[in-house]
């Protein structure tokens, strides 16, 4: 069943049960190293806020968030660091 979910694009990766924790920690480390803290905060709010709502409304909110994000310095840094093939240097998350 897991392989079928991967084929359908419902999951990114399938791992053996005994490798699950190790792989989850590797994935979390990759996110922590390569994703903007500010962007992750927006994603977290979006996931929690839209978990039980209307799909069309959630999509509309996601489009607004995407337009708002594009000029932010952390997004620019992410794009530039990717193009330069280097580790991104994101600013720390500050309370708003």
Query: Mean pLDDT throughout 58-62?
Result: 93
The single residue listed with the structure tokens 């999509």 is 59
Q: What does 38-90 look like in DSSP terms, one character per residue? A: HHHHHHHHHHHHHTTS-HHHHHHHHHHHHHHHTTSHHHHHHHHHHHTTS---P
pLDDT for 94 = 65
Sketch the domain layout of the chain as residue ranges: 37-96
Instruction: Work out the pLDDT band at 55, boundaries 50, 70, 90.
Output: very high
For residue range 21-42, list pLDDT tens digits in order: 999 999 999 988 888 998 999 9
Query: Mean pLDDT throughout 63-69?
Result: 93
pTM attached to this predicted model: 0.67
**Domain boundaries 37-96, CATH class:** mainly alpha
| CB hemisphere CA count around 71 (13 angstroms) | 3
Question: Is 95 a residue whose pLDDT tops 70?
Answer: no
């Amino acid at each position: 069943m897991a392989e079928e979910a991967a084929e359908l694009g419902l999951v990114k990766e399938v791992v053996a049960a005994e490798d699950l924790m190790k792989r989850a920690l590797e994935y979390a480390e990759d996110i922590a190293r390569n994703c903007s803290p500010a962007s992750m905060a927006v994603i977290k709010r979006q996931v929690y806020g839209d978990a039980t709502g209307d799909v069309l409304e959630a999509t509309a909110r996601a489009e607004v968030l995407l337009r708002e994000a594009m000029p932010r310095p952390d997004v620019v840094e992410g794009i530039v660091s990717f193009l330069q093939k280097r580790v991104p240097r994101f600013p720390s998350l500050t309370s708003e």
